[in-house]
Structures are given as structure tokens and as C-alpha cells.
Amino acid sequence: MITRPLDLASKLRPEPRSLDALFFVNTGLVVFFFYATFSSRFVLAPGLGVDFQIQQISGAQAGASATTHNITVQRSGLIIIGDGPADLPRLREWLKAEAKKVRQPSLLVKASGDVPAGIIGAIWSAAHDAGFTVSWAAEEPAAPGGDR
């Protein structure tokens, strides 16, 4: 029985004795790819859940005003700012940096209806200390018989 009919192994050039530069370039590109992929804020970043509901208050549209910045707060205490998810210390730093960019900074807080009062108070305090005026997001309740 013939196991190597074409004898291809004898026609190949020998393996290199050392690592050439192309090996290091390929390794660097693979490392860079994984670093760029997993350091991105869009990969595995938390988003708003399906159950996120802003509070409904009568007259919410009448009291609406334009703001310069906005954040979203979930019940778990997750705060989503312009740069992605943040905790309270990072929010304080972000607010101080953003307050320097505009003349009259104002902040819109879109908080889920079941956010604890302690978190709301801490956010309000941090924004006030940074020089922001704070507005809380609310929706107008659906009219009776409406399809909303």
C-alpha cells in the first residue's frame, strides 16, 4: 500500500529557523483587534431594558424646557451618560467637565419611575454642585380612550 504517492514533503522548503517580522506583525494585529473590540463601549454595553418607564405627570408638556445635557437612570442605579455607563463618582467628574463647556448648563434626568430616592438625591446634589440646573423627565398621561 502506498501511503505517500506524490512525495510532496520532499518538495517543500524547510521550516525557518527563527521567527520573522511578519509573525510579530500578525500577532500585533490580532492583539490590536481584540483590544479594539472589547474596549469599545458598544460591545456588551448595557442598554435600557424593555420595562423602562418614565413617570407620567399631568402638565408635563406645559413645563417642558430645553436642556444642554441629559442622562438616563435605571432602577438598579446604573447611570448612562454621553460616554456610556457610569457610577456616581464618574458622573460627578463628567458633570464638572461638561459644566465648563457651556455658559448655562442644564441637565435633563430621564429616570425610571422606580428609581430609589437616595439615587435621585445624589444625582441632584452632584449636578447642583457642578453648577447645573436640573429638570426631571416626565410624560403626559395618555388621554382616556387614546391608543397610547
Which CATH class, in words, describes the domain spanning 49-148? alpha beta
**Domain ranges, ordered by start, for the chain:** 49-148
The predicted pLDDT at position 43 comes to 60
The model carries a pTM of: 0.59
Q: Which three cell numbers stand for residue 29?
A: 494585529
Beta bridge partners of 135: 108
Whole-number CA gyration radius for the chain: 28
One pLDDT digit (tens) per residue for the chain, 148 residues:
566 778 887 888 887 677 778 888 999 999 999 988 877 766 655 555 555 667 777 776 776 777 888 888 887 778 888 778 888 899 999 999 988 988 889 888 888 778 888 888 999 999 999 999 888 887 777 767 655 5
Tell me how far CA of residue 146 lies from CA of 52, 62, 141, in angstroms.
21, 19, 10
Contacts with 57 (C-beta within 8 Å, 6 or more apart), sequence order: 138, 139, 140, 141
Long-range contacts of 30-37 (CB under 8 A, 24+ apart): none
